[in-house]
Amino acid sequence: MNPILSALIRIVLSTLGLAVSFLPRPFELWLGPRLGRLYLVLDPRRRKIAYDNIRRCLPELKEAGWSRLLNENYRHYGILALEILHMLSPLPGHYRRYAQKVSRFEGLENWKRAHDKGKGVLFVSAHLANWELMAAAGALRGIPITMVTRHLKPEWLHKKMEAVRLSVNIRCAYPPRTMPLVLKGLRAGESIGFVLDQYAPPPMGIPVPFFGVKVDTLAAVGSLAQRTGAAIIPARQKRDASGLVHGIVEPELDLGQARSHPAQATEILARKVEDWIRANPSQWLWVHRRFKNVVWPLVSSALSLLLPLLSPAAAASFKGESCASCHAHIRDAAGSKEPKPAEFFGEYEAAIIGGGLSGLSAAYSLKDKKVVVLEKDDEPGGKTRRENFSRWSYASGAVYTSEPEGPILKMFSELGIYPLKFKSPVHIYWENGRLLEEWISEKGFSEVASDDAQRAQLKGLWARLKQIDAEGKLTIPIQESDPQALQEYDSISFWDYLLKNYGRFAAQIGDYYCRDIFGTGAKDYSAFFGLMYMASEIPDSYSWPGGLGEIAQALAKNLGGRIKTGAMVERVIASQDHVRVIFRRGDKRYEIKAQTAILAVPSFITRRITTGLSEKKQKALAAVRYSAYANVAMQFKKPVFEKAFVLWTPKLSFADITFPGGERLEGPPSKQVGQVAQASMPMGSGDGRRWLQSRSDEEIRKLVLADVEKVLPGAAAQIEDLNIIRWGHAMPIMGPGYLSKIQEELRRPEGRLFFAGVDTQGPAIEGAMFSGFQAAEQARRFLSQWKK
Ligand SMILES: Cc1cc2nc3c(=O)[nH]c(=O)nc-3n(C[C@H](O)[C@H](O)[C@H](O)COP(=O)(O)OP(=O)(O)OC[C@H]3O[C@@H](n4cnc5c(N)ncnc54)[C@H](O)[C@@H]3O)c2cc1C
């Protein structure tokens, strides 16, 4: 948030917090409903959400009942808002006194009985009446409670809420450390509070019935109860006619057989919450987007007519980087004790962690050694993995590359593969119905610009890109580049570079390019990477029908049994004499003893699984941020676009659509009928990643279909299959300073450990393969010296 706006909000909220501190409660209960009525009038967007939720969940009330309930519900929001403002009061101890005054706690004996069993308590609550007051009332009666909640923005608000909760003895657990804190609390016999009525997408949530439809609901409580034996206690709130907020703790919930089935437990809990809401509907948060992506029985939008065309499985299955198992075994287990027990798996000269292109290339270079690749997924390939529709294969990630050369060309030749060159035009640009042929060209740049001033900016940029292309100066490997130039281009963002040298329009074009290619804007990338990659679009582009998965498939065939799939590495422990690698395969744990290990996984994984790294290395690994992408793959019944390989589409939900089918490539014409395409949705980082994780396939699909129709009218009706592949950590963000301050350190070997992966090179398959060759070479040198 803009710091000035944040400061202004802080002043306003603190002032209001101070003001409400002096309000007599009867006046507050008079004022609140009036403020709520005002909110009802002033915010039509929220009002519609609340009204639609009420109408769909409680159809039996009919129109008059819906309106009446909406009005009562908004009166409740007014009181709730004033109550919450007390939490922002700057007066020391105010909130504690206030909570004691306006809340009552019932059922302490129920908690005590469950607590005395010694396995911890899981409170399940909902956004009824005032949940903060309920927690405060409990904590003030001596319940040691940790609330599972979100990290608020801006930071000052987060800190303020944390402090005020602590003032009433409530602790909080936030992502990404939620699970370790929750488990620690339960182990100590404490009580953990969950509110279970919010939308929780996969992988944390599962769809369970709620008001007659299936809604994604947090599944953690059921799993935690099963895992730890903690008691589940429903706890609800209601505000009585006099305004007192009652926190009511019910007896421990007996889940019966559902205790060993987390999904069934979640269903029971969701039913409980629904019963509470039905009993007291005016005090629930109907303005919540609780029913995200639910297709209610009545759908009327034009797009919904396309729903039956798509396979039902497409909407239900999750594809891409699924965080659940990584979170459980790596993120939340980081720093915990060494996982035990592990069965001995074998001795190797080199253990390679990660079977993406970097790991596979490293293994290929070390084929003459006793080498093993451990890959957590069922297939190797990482972000180049190829997947299949019924009639076409498609790329789940990477799609095209430049002309192979050097060690990459050598490996391709030995593997017997060679990519096909795209016919011109390769890059068609679409904007509001206008198509520009080959926009990354001198002519294309002059047409993208809408006046002479813009044209002049792009002319300058084009001249620079051409020069880089001709000189080949800013190319991988960077060690061969001019260090002075490196310094110059590394210290500045691509956006600032373009703005300074050419002007705002050139910066906007560079920004769009970066979003498409790197998943995040030109301000996030250094001028070095922006220029180098943009210049790399000038020479020919290459791929295979079905994308770059061909390389991983050929490597996998070549490496055969050296690759162990379904093997998630949990720990890499290096000592003077050897490296121990502990991995999980199915329910079992194994241990490898190796002379060297190559970490060919993204930095955020390396950092968490490797013990004993130097502080410098850990710092560099922790400094790498990632952009996110959704890749929406579509299989069309008949070809819908045959003019170019990439259709660039600024200002839509996706940044481009690529068509890696056989038709647009030189070489033998494809025998396949129809066409496959991928819409690429860059998400940036942070909020973008959260967006990607919180949207259902259904919601993303609707967005994409609407835009596909804009670009290629009639194409949506030709879709016979569609898959959404989510890459939460698609590419490392190589911002200013990355090259000089981070990358060199990422690559530096430590003892028997060697480091590969695109983070150590450049965010493309060449970078991945090159990093594998380089790490393999270092390991080979170590092995030969060590043997002597
Ligand atoms: C949507 C998208 C589009 C792209 N388009 C292009 C393109 O057109 N051209 C291009 O050149 N590049 C493209 N890229 C970038 C390119 O695909 C990647 O940079 C490159 O493939 C990364 O290779 P890698 O081996 O470094 O990492 P990854 O491919 O991420 O491989 C790492 C492997 O390690 C495994 N792993 C992770 N943790 C563990 C663990 N604990 N134990 C065991 N295994 C583990 C993972 O499952 C994965 O297989 C694209 C990327 C994305 C996401």
pLDDT tens, residue by residue, 110-122: 999 999 999 999 9
8 Å CB contact between 253 and 232: yes
Q: How many CB atoms lie within 10 A of CB 637?
A: 15
| Atom 7 of ligand 1, residue of closest alpha carbon | 398
- 480, pLDDT greater than 70: no
Rounded to the nearest whole angstrom, what is the distance from the C-alpha of residue 382 to the centroid of ligand 1? Answer: 4
Most ligand 1 atoms within 8 A of CB, residue of 325, 329, 365, 383 to mutate: 383
Q: What is the pLDDT of residue 630?
A: 93
Separation CA 218–CA 226 (nearest Å): 15
* Mean pLDDT within 500-529: 96
Q: What is the pLDDT of residues 677-709, one digit of tens each?
A: 999 999 998 778 878 877 778 888 989 999 999
150 falls in which pLDDT band (50, 70, 90)? confident
Rounded to the nearest whole angstrom, what is the distance from the C-alpha of residue 356 to the centroid of ligand 1? Answer: 6
325 falls in which pLDDT band (50, 70, 90)? low
| Atom 36 of ligand 1, residue of closest alpha carbon | 354
| Atom 11 of ligand 1, residue of closest alpha carbon | 764
Regarding the beta carbon of 384 and ligand 1, being less than 6 Å apart is answered yes
Q: Report residue 532 as tokens.
A: 């180098």
Q: Report residue 722 as tokens.
A: 């569609």
Separation CA 216–CA 204 (nearest Å): 9
Q: What is the pLDDT of residue 753?
A: 98
Where do we find the tokens 């190319």? 475
Q: What is the pLDDT of residue 356?
A: 98
667 falls in which pLDDT band (50, 70, 90)? low
Q: How far lies 53's CA from each of 46, 67, 283, 286, in Å?
A: 11, 12, 14, 6
Q: Which of 38-52, 71-85, 272-286, 315-329 has the lowest mean pLDDT?
A: 315-329
Q: What is the pLDDT of residue 533?
A: 93
Element housing 568 (H / E) = strand 567-574
Q: What CATH architecture does domain 446-539 belong to?
A: Orthogonal Bundle (1.10)
Q: How many CB atoms lie within 10 A of CB 54?
A: 22
Strands 434-436 and 427-431: antiparallel
Q: What is the pLDDT of residue 324?
A: 61
- Residue 758 CA: which ligand 1 atom is closest? 26
Element housing 342 (H / E) = none
Regarding the beta carbon of 408 and ligand 1, being less than 6 Å apart is answered no
- 314, pLDDT greater than 50: no
Residues of 337-349 as b/e, b for ≥16 C-beta within 10 angstroms? eeeeebeebeebb
Q: What is the pLDDT of residue 342?
A: 84
Regarding the beta carbon of 359 and ligand 1, being less than 6 Å apart is answered yes
- 301, pLDDT greater than 50: no
- Residue 767 CA: which ligand 1 atom is closest? 19
Residues of 68-89 as b/e, b for ≥16 C-beta within 10 angstroms? ebbeebbbbbbbbebbbbbbbb
Rounded to the nearest whole angstrom, what is the distance from the C-alpha of residue 341 to the centroid of ligand 1? Answer: 30
* Mean pLDDT within 733-745: 92
Q: What is the pLDDT of residue 196?
A: 92
Q: What is the pLDDT of residues 398-454, one digit of tens each?
A: 999 999 999 999 999 999 999 999 888 899 999 988 999 899 999 999 999 999 999
Regarding the beta carbon of 734 and ligand 1, being less than 6 Å apart is answered no
Instruction: Find, among 267, 181, 276, the residue nearest to 236 by Cα.
Output: 276
Q: What is the pLDDT of residue 298?
A: 42
Regarding the beta carbon of 354 and ligand 1, being less than 6 Å apart is answered yes
Most ligand 1 atoms within 8 A of CB, residue of 601, 604, 611, 743 to mutate: 601
Q: What is the pLDDT of residue 586?
A: 79
- Cα of 124 vs its chain's centroid, Å: 26
Element housing 752 (H / E) = none
- 38, pLDDT greater than 80: yes
Regarding the beta carbon of 375 and ligand 1, being less than 6 Å apart is answered yes
Q: What is the pLDDT of residue 295?
A: 65
Regarding the beta carbon of 727 and ligand 1, being less than 6 Å apart is answered yes
Q: Which CATH superfamily is domain 338-376+566-624+735-787 in?
A: FAD/NAD(P)-binding domain (3.50.50.60)
Q: What is the pLDDT of residue 492?
A: 94
Omega of the bond leading into 262 within 30 degrees of 0 (cis): no
Instruction: Find, among 364, 352, 400, the residue nearest to 769 by Cα.
Output: 364
- 46, pLDDT greater than 70: yes
Q: Report residue 573 as tokens.
A: 């422990």
Q: What is the pLDDT of residues 332-343, one digit of tens each?
A: 655 556 777 789
Rounded to the nearest whole angstrom, what is the distance from the C-alpha of residue 14 to the centroid of ligand 1? Answer: 47
* Mean pLDDT within 552-557: 96
Where, residue-wise, is CATH 3.50.50.60 in the chain?
A: 338-376+566-624+735-787
485 falls in which pLDDT band (50, 70, 90)? confident
Q: Report residue 99 as tokens.
A: 């909570």
Q: What is the pLDDT of residues 193-248, one digit of tens each?
A: 999 998 887 777 888 889 888 888 988 898 888 889 999 999 999 999 899 999 99
- 583, pLDDT greater than 80: yes
Regarding the beta carbon of 379 and ligand 1, being less than 6 Å apart is answered no
| Atom 29 of ligand 1, residue of closest alpha carbon | 382
* Mean pLDDT within 373-381: 93
Q: Report residue 456 as tokens.
A: 């002049």
Q: Report residue 324 as tokens.
A: 């659940």
548 falls in which pLDDT band (50, 70, 90)? very high
DSSP character string of 63-129: HHHHHHHHHHHHHHHHHHHHHHHGGG--STTHHHHHHHHHEEEE-HHHHHHHHTTSS-EEEEE-SBS
Regarding the beta carbon of 353 and ligand 1, being less than 6 Å apart is answered yes
- 733, pLDDT greater than 80: yes
Q: What is the pLDDT of residues 2-20, one digit of tens each?
A: 888 889 999 999 999 999 9
| Atom 2 of ligand 1, residue of closest alpha carbon | 397
- Residue 354 CA: which ligand 1 atom is closest? 34
Asked whether the CA dihedral 252, 257, 263, 264 is positive or negative, the reply is negative
Q: What is the pLDDT of residue 306?
A: 35
Q: Which of 181-190, 251-260, 444-453, 665-674 has the lowest mean pLDDT?
A: 665-674
Omega of the bond leading into 176 within 30 degrees of 0 (cis): yes
8 Å CB contact between 657 and 632: no
Instruction: State the distance between the two ends of the chain, measured CA to CA, in whole angstroms.
Output: 59
Regarding the beta carbon of 398 and ligand 1, being less than 6 Å apart is answered yes
Q: What is the pLDDT of residue 51?
A: 93
Regarding the beta carbon of 357 and ligand 1, being less than 6 Å apart is answered yes
How high does pLDDT run on average in the chain? Answer: 89
Backbone angles phi, psi at 130, to 5 degrees: -135, 100
State the Cα angle at 689 between 507 and 628, rounded to 5°. 55
Q: What is the pLDDT of residue 662?
A: 54
- Residue 357 CA: which ligand 1 atom is closest? 25
- 308, pLDDT greater than 60: no
Percentage of the residues of the chain whose pLDDT score is greater than 70: 92
Separation CA 229–CA 463 (nearest Å): 68
Regarding the beta carbon of 383 and ligand 1, being less than 6 Å apart is answered yes
Report the 3 state secondary structure along 590-614: EEEEEEEEEECCCHHHHHHHEECCC
| Atom 13 of ligand 1, residue of closest alpha carbon | 398
- Residue 400 CA: which ligand 1 atom is closest? 8
Residue 605 amino acid letter: I
- The full length of the chain comes to 788
| Atom 6 of ligand 1, residue of closest alpha carbon | 398
Separation CA 680–CA 690 (nearest Å): 17
Where, residue-wise, is CATH 1.10.405 in the chain?
A: 446-539
| Atom 14 of ligand 1, residue of closest alpha carbon | 398
Separation CA 786–CA 779 (nearest Å): 10
Separation CA 470–CA 538 (nearest Å): 10
- DSSP type of residue 750: B
Q: What is the pLDDT of residue 327?
A: 66
